[in-house]
Amino acid sequence: MNGITKTARAFVPSHITGFFAAHRQEEPRLAGSVGCGLCLSLGATTTIESAPEIHDTEIFLNGARSEAPVSRYVVEKLVKEPVRVKTELSMPLGAGFGASGAGALGCAYALNSCFNLGLTANGAAAVAHEAEVTFRTGLGDVIAQNAGGLVVRLQPGAPGTGRIDRIPVPTMPISYVVHGPLSTSQVLSDEKTMTAVNLAGEAALKELLKRPTFTNFLQLSRRFTVQSGLASDWALEAIEAVEAAGGMAGMIMLGDAVFAFGGGSAEALRTFGEVHTTTISQRGANLD
């Protein structure tokens, strides 16, 4: 399709995890996480241009030159020549929206199309998953972003290796407030934290599968927020404010950020920061 211009573009939705348990493995395609999270229509649009005139691959995030090691890994894995990558993100960075996964996944899809690499969706996405796991920037965003909707990660691994299902859910509004970033790689490297996280995450998944509904996802995310020990005081207060207004909320894993649904949740969050409202994305990653 892009033989003449040598350019291709892909869209990837953001993804917020409600709860998770990490599964370490030597082999990146087997590593990942189980848990459950929501794809949101805030997304990343990545354009690839072949650029034979440059010496090194150039990556731009929202117009600014960036190192973007996760996306760079995908480029170097898939093509031998330098390219120009332009990713426009409509989601917050470093706040648990899966921005690095979205950039890497968009890169993989767009490179596949631009250079006619002949990879399937899972084949392209597996490279992005590998990049995320290698840089410890995420464990389960890519497989969920590849599918869209409210995704349950049943077995860890890259797209095509891990096993997922979805929980049926209409295209509903979700509000969120971001207080600050949280380093995914730092959390994942702390043994003590991860013991509590994994225990709470496995329990939540087991519970969710007994009754896989949107409401139950929200309740279990709320419980995980406390049991995992990851929540800040700010996050807990924001969640309680939403609940007092008749809504449901949980912390976005992993960011110092809160997502909420129903009741007067958007209003209730207003004292905690700038409130944004987006919708669930029913579609997963694909060419744009």
Residues in the site for a second copy, rule: CB under 8 A? 1, 9-10, 109, 112-113, 116, 118-124, 147-149, 152, 160, 165-171, 209-215, 282-284, 286-288
Q: How far apart are CA 224 and CA 92, in angstroms?
A: 22
In angstroms, give the least distance from the CB of 104 to a second copy: 15
DSSP class of 270? G
Asked if 141 contacts 17 with a C-beta cutoff of 8 angstroms, the reply is yes
Judged by beta carbon, residue 45 or residue 232, the one nearer a second copy is 45
For residue 145, the one-letter residue type is: Q
Q: How far apart are CA 117 and CA 112, in angstroms?
A: 5
In angstroms, give the least distance from the CB of 168 to a second copy: 5
Q: Which pairing describes strands 83-89 and 58-61: parallel, antiparallel, or unpaired? A: parallel
Q: How far apart are CA 58 and CA 47, in angstroms?
A: 12
Judged by beta carbon, residue 103 or residue 149, the one nearer a second copy is 149
Q: How far apart are CA 277 and CA 26, in angstroms?
A: 39
In angstroms, give the least distance from the CB of 251 to a second copy: 23
In angstroms, give the least distance from the CB of 9 to a second copy: 8
Judged by beta carbon, residue 74 or residue 230, the one nearer a second copy is 74
Judged by beta carbon, residue 160 or residue 264, the one nearer a second copy is 160
If you search the block for the tokens 């007092």, which residue do you land on? 244
What tokens were used for 37?
């999270």
In angstroms, give the least distance from the CB of 75 to a second copy: 17
Judged by beta carbon, residue 116 or residue 195, the one nearer a second copy is 116
What tokens were used for 224?
């995980």
